[in-house]
Amino acid sequence: MNVSARTHALIIGIGNPLRSDDGLGWKVAEQLSQDDDMCCDIHMVHQLTPELAQWMAAADLTIMVDASREGELGELRVRPLSPSAQPGPIGTHYTTPEELAALTTTVYGHCPPVVVVTMTGANFCLGERLSPIISQSIPLVCAAVRQVCTCDLALIMNANVYYPHTESFNT
């Protein structure tokens, strides 16, 4: 099934714009919200919480965008959640993507496909500025999200590293 034929995609930009690279999800969401070609709902949140399950249940596809501390600096990953992922106990203040997907299924009887897009950051200290590598990579992250929105879902759900780290971003 081609995702571009979908009627309702949800993009969730996750992070804290006051903690340097942790603001990546917000910056990407802001950029995508200015794109008239994006036919989806875009939300920015500090963290994943159980209340987001309602938005997810109403979507045909959910894409979560976040900065990561794991991996090589500047590494961009597109990771589909496995429908069989086993979540841990669900917290009231913070949940993982897997826990939120499981909660959505439990409460609403279904969960759309979920894809998590992350980029490994360099600086998570207090501050509003992204590190140079992350700032320069925002167009690449936006392109990855757009591609998830327009690609055949079966292709995306079978991928793990969609855009591996590239040497061109080692500046």
Summarize pLDDT for 83-109 with one digit per residue, the tens: 665 555 655 556 899 999 999 999 999
Q: What kind of fold does domain 3-169 have according to CATH?
A: Rossmann fold (3.40.50)
pTM to 2 decimal places:
0.85
Contacts of 103 (CB under 8 A, 6+ apart): 50, 53, 87, 90, 95
* Secondary structure of residue 98 in the 3-state scheme: helix
Residues of the chain below pLDDT 50:
1-6, 161-162, 166-171
- Domain regions of the chain by residue span: 3-169
Q: How many residues does the chain have?
A: 171
Contacts of 170 (CB under 8 A, 6+ apart): 73, 74, 133
